[in-house]
A and B are shown apart, each in its own frame.
Chain A
Amino acid sequence: MKTDFTEVQRSNPLMQMMEENLRKCVHCGFCLPSCPTYSVLGDERESPRGRIYLIKDMLESRDAPNTETVSHVDSCLSCLACVSACPSGVDYQHYIDYARSYIEDHHQRPWFERFLRSLIVYIITHARFFRFVLRMARFAKPLSRFFSSKIFSVINMVPAELKVEKITNTAKIFPAKGLKIKRVSLLMGCAQNVLRPSINEATIRLLTRMNMEVVVTEGVGCCGALNHHIGKDSIARDLAKTNIDAWLTEFDQRGIDNIIVNAAGCGTEIKDYAYMFKDDLEYNEKAKKISNLTKDISELLSEHQLPSVSLSNQPNIIYHDACSLMYGQGITREPREHLKAVGFELTEIPGRHFCCGSAGSYNLLQPAMAETLKDRRLTLIDKVSKSNRASILATGNIGCLMQLASGTGLQVVHTVELLDWATGGLKPPN
């Protein structure tokens, strides 16, 4: 595609990346049918190809972004389905990330929106505050109709009952049950540890049974993805740096074989640290190292033999691919293989895969679209569950889990919880 950037713009490495991507796009439209928002709205502006165009126009004109463009960039889920669909090799992931940070820098949102965006991300990524807000929100639930739709959606996401975490509250090192074969650092995740601590617990139980020592590295916090995806790049980079430093310290002082992530959205982000810092002289090597050490839990499990199966009469389950796992990390085969290996009967959701609408903080910031996508996904899921009497829906990301659980009667769990349960661990909580 023809581009029209100034030499000054071209001297900026990020802008160079943007131009390179634009040049690759041949406007073929292969990305359109993969895009959840396009599939709902049928509007070019709500498609990857349309957004590429809108962003190109925004960058080339060098004007302040107009609100229409901003709204179409905001409505992108960053599910990355389009990246896999693109034959020309356009790196939409980093293209849209840059556009978001550009908008953040060059566009003034109304104060209430600014406040809300910051607040939502702050709350989710700060466990203590999050817990507090959730408790408050439970009381607010009956009053939620008095709030704006965005606040309403936050409150509605609150689980009816908050679990008080057990083991992970205190201990930081979980020794291997037998002879240690590996030492791994587990990312606890910010929202995940508050909303469903059982995922981390199941992970720790399973890995320690598989003779791995699991550590929770001091100083590691939020991965930065939520901030990154709403264009707050500098916050994201700061969070990433903190994590990189903490893990490197762990690596250098005590040694770790891998960093293990069981929240796919975080995994995608950490694996992308290498890219995030590729032009940073101080951090590029460090970030590369951390990204290379990072594995999704399912990747790690594929390298080892799962413990023997102790469960019988495993229920039928349905597996939902988290976009961050499927597109972000290209992992589809492994979780299915593991679930089958421990005796679960697996059913596929028919039709084309689409995002469930969770997408980080998307369901809070774009509740209407998120709700539509959730309904679409659940309509298909419910249809399958009826035909094969599946009672459990498994997925690999906390966001998808909460999103889907809020609209179905099925029990929604993390894959690792099922693997733990089937091999001698605990039954996943409802």
Chain B
Amino acid sequence: MRMPIPDANIIAQRSEIIERLQQIVPRGEFGDSVIIDSAGLRAYECDGLSAYRQLPLIVVLPETTAQISRILTFCNEIGVKIVARGAGTSLSGGALPLADAVMLGLGKFNKILNIDYANRAVITQPGVTNLSISEAVSDADFYYAPDPSSQIVCSIGGNVAENSGGVHCLKYGLTTNNLLGLEMVLMNGDIIKLGGKYLGSEGYDLLGIISGSEGLLGVITEVTLRILKKPETARAMLIGFNNAALAGDCVATIIGSGIIPGGMEMMDKLAIEATEEFVHAGYPSNVETLLIVELDGPVVEVSDLIARVQNIANGLGSNYIRVSKNEAEREIFWAGRKAAFPAIGRITPDYYCVDGTIPRARLPEVLIKINEMSQKYKLRVANVFHAGDGNLHPLIMYDANELGELERAEEFGREILLLCVDVGGVLTGEHGVGVEKRDLMEKVFTEEDLKQQQRLKCAFDPNGLLNPGKVFPTLHRCAELGRVHVHHGETSFSDIPRF
């Protein structure tokens, strides 16, 4: 992976930078919060995309917003780059360190600050895990809706930065749809607060653009989230088919009939087998494709919808239908799906997780083509798929110790993503561009499109110090982007008055 050339001048100042950081974040009871030794840095060399690794210049673990503000002010002044990191679970290398960048670990921001049932909101620090939010409000029968499969570990700050989805976002939306407010530190050290326990925000929708901005615009230090009352009941169904096309039809028919399930997931045979070994969810072994469809709401509604979905599935020749009988069974149906990625680690030393989105209707042909590619690249692939919203996660299995396999897996992944784009989809549904899909951005966006996105970056971080090398294949200088281009010959309205 080609990364920006490290700035030798910054590396040369390492000891001064360390000294300053140690002043800002002093040593605590349990040791140093400024990590400088190579073994310690090694622990931070990669995120969830472990194929790409790089030792950071320094890691600092601040505990307060004020410390972050001082760190950023200092780094901005002398031109040191910053890479923020939450739980380090990005699957696109969003938190991949840089040799000349300070890595800002937000692990110590791990407290929930306020739970407000009357306004159905939670204020939390960004290092708190996604699942902890739901756990904290579960006694009052509330929950936080977006539930990425890594919810047990991924942090809320990271969720905002990546605009994480999950298995329930078909009905309840992504992070951006459930975010009420933020506190954030800009690269120049300014602290801004956006939104709060109310709907909508003042002026431009900065909450909207910070969601999914992959750490390029600021460092999130506090998050206000909308929580929802748990549905009266939720039941999950396992529906098996002998081929993926029928499963695809089933998904389309369910949605076409006006039903929006809480979640609708698809797994192929390999994925079913691998996860079954970890969770023993009782997934059927005699099906090629398994759908997990969850219906939630009032009891009467759910029973009615289950019957309708059953009819649809039967009509399409499903060869396996099982409806969860209780909460424990429903949870175990999901447990398999949620652990699907790492569970693949049981059957392969390494895997590469792809994350494209396609229009639902194109699913069968895309799956056929992926299988053809699997033959071509001589690499196995397991498919896990957010069927309801067309978000595809082929898991390409490879062995990093075998020469050339990683490169083959990457090439395979690229081909899948370009196929997604070809059929009207996009490069990434929820894992982000990061470094992984960075160089494919030019395949979907024109130079003008990318320039416009980078101009937004310029408004927040004109020196380009936050998480460089991610998202954009080339980072233009803001001065160059800011120039107004004179369009020759277009003065057709010279007769209109000036003000």
Contact = CB atoms under 8 A, between A and B. Distances in A.
Chain A directly contacts chain B within the complex, with at least one CB pair under 8 Å: yes
B463 to A, nearest CB: 28
Given A2-B400, A41-B107, A33 B50 contact: no
Contact of B48 (A27, A40, A368): A27
B127 A42 contact: yes
B88 interface: yes
A109 interface: no
B350 to A, nearest CB: 7
B349 A23 contact: yes
Contacts of A117: none
Nearest to B31: A71
Contact of A1 (B105, B341, B343, B349): B349
Contacts of A369: 30
Given A27-B46, A28-B153, A41-B30, A3 B345 contact: no
A68 interface: yes
Interface string B138-155: 010000000000101110
Contact of A43 (B29, B105, B342): B105
A30 interface: yes
B45 interface: yes
Given A26-B345, A28-B48, A33 B61 contact: no
Looking at chain A's contact residues, the main secondary structure is helix
Contacts of B344: 26
Contacts of A314: none
A371 B145 CA distance: 36
Nearest to B400: A2
B345 A44 contact: no
A44 B342 contact: no
Contact of B345 (A42, A69, A88): A88
A44 B108 CA distance: 10
Contacts of A29: 48, 87-89, 150, 153-154
Contact of A352 (B43, B44, B135): B135
Interface string A58-89: 10000000101101100000000000011111
A88 to B, nearest CB: 3
Residue from B48, B87, B108, B139 with most neighbouring chain A CB atoms (10 Å): B87
A32 B87 contact: yes
A3 B105 contact: no
Contacts, number: 131
B369 interface: no
B39 A66 contact: yes
B109 A42 contact: yes
A68 B39 contact: yes
A53 B153 contact: no
Contact of A44 (B44, B50, B110, B400): B44
Contact of A66 (B37, B342, B346, B406): B37
B356 to A, nearest CB: 20
B345 A368 contact: no
Given A30-B153, A69-B39, A88-B343, A39 B110 contact: yes
A32 B135 contact: no
A50 B40 CA distance: 9
Contacts of B51: 2
B129 interface: yes
Nearest to A350: B139
A299 interface: no
Interface string B345-384: 1100111000000000000000000000000000000000
B91 to A, nearest CB: 9
B45 A53 contact: yes
Interface in B110-126: 110
B288 to A, nearest CB: 23
Given A1-B400, A54-B39, A87-B278, A28 B342 contact: yes
Contacts of A87: 278, 339, 341-343, 345-346
B266 interface: no
Given A3-B401, A39-B110, A88 B346 contact: yes
B293 interface: no
Given A45-B35, A53-B42, A54-B42, A33 B107 contact: no
Given A29-B87, A66-B37, A69-B39, A2 B339 contact: no
A53 B89 contact: no
B305 interface: no
B30 A89 contact: no
B247 interface: no
Interface of B: 29-31, 33, 35, 37-40, 42-48, 50-51, 61, 87-89, 105-110, 127, 129, 131-132, 135, 139, 150, 152-154, 278, 339, 341-346, 349-351, 400-401, 406
Closest 5 A/B residue pairs (Cβ): A42-B107, A88-B345, A2-B400, A87-B342, A50-B43
15 contacts: A2-B400, A23-B349, A23-B401, A25-B345, A29-B150, A41-B107, A42-B110, A43-B107, A43-B108, A44-B105, A53-B45, A58-B39, A86-B342, A89-B346, A368-B30
Interface of A: 1-3, 23-33, 38-46, 49-51, 53-54, 57-58, 66, 68-69, 71-72, 85-89, 350-352, 368-369
